[in-house]
Amino acid sequence: MTVIGKEETGQKQKTVVIVGAGPAGLMAAEEICAAGHQVQVYDAKPSACRKFLLAGVGGMNITHSEAYPDFIQRYYDKADWLDTSIRQFDADALQDWIHGLGVETFVGTSGRVFPKDMKAAPLLRHWLKRLRESGVEFHMRHKMTSMKKNHLTFDHNGETVEVQADAVVLAMGGASWPKLGSDGAWLPILAEKGVTVAPLQSANCGFYSHWSEHLQTKFAGSPLKDVAFSFVFANGHVVTKKGECIVTKDGMEGSLIYAFSKYLRDGINAHTHSSLTMDFLPLQSEEQVVKKLRNTKPKESFSKYLKRTLNIGGVKAALLHEAFSKEAFQTPEALAACLKAVPVSFYKTKPIDEVISTAGGVCESSVDARLMLNALPGVFCAGEMLDWEAPTGGYLLTACFATGKMAGRGVCEFLNT
Ligand SMILES: Cc1cc2nc3c(=O)[nH]c(=O)nc-3n(C[C@H](O)[C@H](O)[C@H](O)COP(=O)(O)OP(=O)(O)OC[C@H]3O[C@@H](n4cnc5c(N)ncnc54)[C@H](O)[C@@H]3O)c2cc1C
């Protein structure tokens, strides 16, 4: 067994241990190191920020340019809680920070902000270099297996390593893509210390639906483009978004369905299933659709009629037949109403290990304003392991960086008191 601690190394500064070398942990490390403390970063994997690098594969969307009042509402019912962290390190501050690493950014047409080359690797390379040069030390292949206040136990290639610190930041992520390091194994460790932790659940995810054999065999993998989805809340409030997704053999995947994932998941949790309506002609009013449908030809099949008048065929026609019986299409008015509101029902989220992010984690009630655990003074939490969620669009990383910074500042305050 190896034992590392302040006394053993003879350091005069305070020693802070960060567990988790993702964006949240590294941001905390930077903040604490800048205050002159000795920072030791531990991570289960052989290298840092594996999920961050994966996020960069399809184009690293690091934050969003929309106005702050709209931005903060993306965190749903946790907006007020995260406001404390994000207000002190918002999208503009994050972009300035990125520019400080020598990486340029641009705002896409959607308002999303990306590094100019769309990649995560150059940014990470510059950041790790700066952290190392500032004195942050990295201990990779160290998986935290237990903790007792500020005394942590790691498994390092089968060997037990005990570490003592003056303060600790836990930034071990959620549980999606566990092969990248964040597997949620920290959850029972904290729960048994009296920390209230909400179960980790799929977020920004696809959903399972019961398709007919016909839909499964003929249309699995088909893109569903130029559609709008609407979700109706119990109080009648409606959220509508345009976009596209993919019909899979057992449900739906893709950006448009991900945007509804919190609402659908909450609905499934409460009622075992949850539904959306799909508008296949979002750019046309119902009246315009009726007008086009009145343009009939004698002896034309229904599918040709739909294709000729409204260019509806393929997977859209199949989903229409999936949702309605032919009797529903007797008049142009009735058919137009169906095309503008095709219901689709889902019964389960896609598994947590396949999804972009997780909801759940360390609850707001378990931490103070500086993100220190009430049950474990001197131990702070940051990033996706906290109980918040947000849609894609750069909101996830922004909150990880901002809570990392908040936890880092909290540690510095704690060590100075
Ligand atoms: C495919 C994909 C694409 C994404 N794209 C985007 C995007 O474009 N924009 C965006 O905003 N977000 C995106 N995200 C989400 C974003 O990457 C995460 O929200 C973010 O990385 C979470 O940061 P974190 O620091 O909290 O945790 P993580 O990045 O998960 O880091 C946690 C670290 O803790 C380590 N760890 C875990 N448990 C232990 C343990 N017991 N002991 C030691 N170390 C441990 C892990 O190895 C890991 O290095 C994407 C995610 C995925 C999967």
For residue range 174-185, list pLDDT tens digits in order.
999 999 999 999
Ligand 1 and 60: CB distance under 6 A: yes
**Any atom of ligand 1 within 6 Å of the Cβ of 393:** no
Kindly report the backbone phi and psi dihedral angles of residue 196, in degrees, each rounded to the nearest multiple of 5, phi listed first: -80, 125
Is residue 166 within 8 Å of residue 150, measured between CB atoms? yes
Task: State how far the Cα of 66 lies from the Cα of 54, in Å rounded to an integer.
Answer: 25
Predicted confidence (pLDDT) per residue in 290-339, tens digit: 999 998 888 899 999 999 999 999 999 999 999 999 999 999 999 999 99
Atom from ligand 1 closest to the CA of residue 384 = 26
Packing angle of the helix pair 395-416, 91-100 (nearest 10 deg)? 80
Give residue 285 CA to ligand 1 midpoint distance, Å.
Answer: 42
Residue 403 CA: nearest ligand 1 atom is 26
User: Is ligand 1 within 6 A of the CB of residue 356?
Assistant: yes
- Is 192 exposed, middle or buried (CB count within 10 Å of its CB: 0-12, 13-18, 19+)? exposed
| pLDDT at residue 1, rounded to an integer | 54
Residue 61 alpha carbon, nearest atom of ligand 1:
8
In terms of C-beta density within 10 A (0-12 exposed, 13-18 middle, 19 or more buried), how is residue 369 classed?
exposed
Residue type, 250: D
Q: Is 251 in the pocket of ligand 1 (CB under 6 A)?
A: no
Read off the pLDDT of residues 189-199 as tens digits, 9 standing for 90 and up.
999 999 999 99
Atom of ligand 1 nearest to the CA of 184: 38
CB 399 less than 6 A from any atom of ligand 1: no
Strands 159-164 and 2-4: parallel
Q: In the structure, what pLDDT confidence band is assigned to residue 9 with cuts at 50, 70 and 90?
A: very low
Which is the closest atom of ligand 1 to the Cα of 59?
Answer: 8
Ligand 1 atom nearest to 25, measured from its CA: 25
> Which positions ≥6 away from 237 have C-beta within 8 Å?
none
Question: Which residue's CA is the nearest one to ligand 1's atom 29?
Answer: 22
Average pLDDT, the chain: 95
Q: How far is ligand 1, taken at its centre, from the CA of residue 262, in Å? A: 19
Distance of alpha carbon 35 from alpha carbon 413, whole angstroms: 10
Q: Is 6 left (phi over 0), alpha (psi -120 to 50) or beta?
A: alpha
Query: Is residue 21 in contact with ligand 1, taking CB distance under 6 Å?
Result: yes
Q: Is 22 in the pocket of ligand 1 (CB under 6 A)?
A: yes
- Write out pLDDT tens, residues 218-275: 999 999 999 999 999 999 999 999 999 999 999 999 999 999 999 999 999 999 999 9
Q: Is the CB of 51 under 6 A from ligand 1?
A: yes
What is the tens place of the pLDDT at every residue in 209-228?
Answer: 999 999 999 999 999 999 99
Tell me, in angstroms, the distance from the centre of ligand 1 to residue 51's CA.
5
- 74 within ligand 1 shell (Cβ under 6 A): no
Q: For residue 18, give the nearest of 28, 4, 7 by alpha carbon.
A: 28
- SS3 for the chain is CEEECHHHHCCCCCEEEEECCCHHHHHHHHHHHHCCCEEEEECCCCCCCHHHHHHCCCCCCCEECCCHHHHHHCCHHHHHHHHHHHHCCCHHHHHHHHHHCCCCEEECCCCEEEECCCCCHHHHHHHHHHHHHHCCEEECCEEEEEEECCEEEEEECCEEEEEECCEEEECCCCCCCHHHCCCCCHHHHHHCCCCCEEEEEEECCCEECCCCHHHHHHHCCEEEEEEEEEEECCCCCEEEEEEEEEEECCEEECHHHHCCHHHHHHHHHHHCCEEEEEECCCCCCHHHHHHHHCCCCCCCCHHHHHHHHHCCCHHHHHHHHHHCCHHHHCCHHHHHHHHHCEEEEECEECCHHHCCEEEEEECHHHECCCCEECCCCCEEECHHHECCCCCCCCHHHHHHHHHHHHHHHHHHHHHHC
Kindly state if the Cβ of 391 falls inside 6 Å of ligand 1.
no
Rounded CA separation 187/251 (Å): 30
Question: pLDDT at position 6, please?
Answer: 46
Where along the chain do its domains lie? 2-203+358-416, 207-349
- Quick one: CATH architecture of 2-203+358-416? 3-Layer(bba) Sandwich (3.50)
Q: Which of 98, 118, 176, 182 to mutate for ligand 1's pocket (most ligand atoms within 8 Å of CB)?
A: 182
Query: Hey, which of 353, 397, 405 would you mutate to test ligand 1's pocket, going by the most ligand atoms within 8 Å of its Cβ?
Result: 397
Ligand 1 neighbourhood includes 202 CB (under 6 angstroms): no
Q: What is the pLDDT of residue 417?
A: 85
Do 209 and 264 form a contact (C-beta atoms < 8 A)?
no
SS3 letters across 256-324: HHHCCHHHHHHHHHHHCCEEEEEECCCCCCHHHHHHHHCCCCCCCCHHHHHHHHHCCCHHHHHHHHHHC
Closest ligand 1 atom to residue 173 Cα is 27
For the chain, the residue count is 417
Strands 159-164 and 38-42: unpaired
Residue 257 is predicted with a pLDDT of 98
What is the spatial distance between Cα 27 and Cα 358, in angstroms, rounded to a whole number?
20
CB atoms within 10 A of CB 88: 12
Largest CA distance in the chain: 92
With a 6 Å cutoff on the Cβ, whether 150 touches ligand 1 is no
Nearest C-alpha to atom 27 of ligand 1 is from which residue? 173
Phi, psi angle pair for 139, to nearest 5° = -125, 95
Compute the average pLDDT of residues 44-63. Answer: 94
Residue nearest atom 41 in ligand 1 by C-alpha distance: 144
Binned at pLDDT 50, 70 and 90, residue 13 comes out as confident
Q: What pTM was estimated for this model as a whole?
A: 0.95
Amino acid (one-letter) located at 293: L
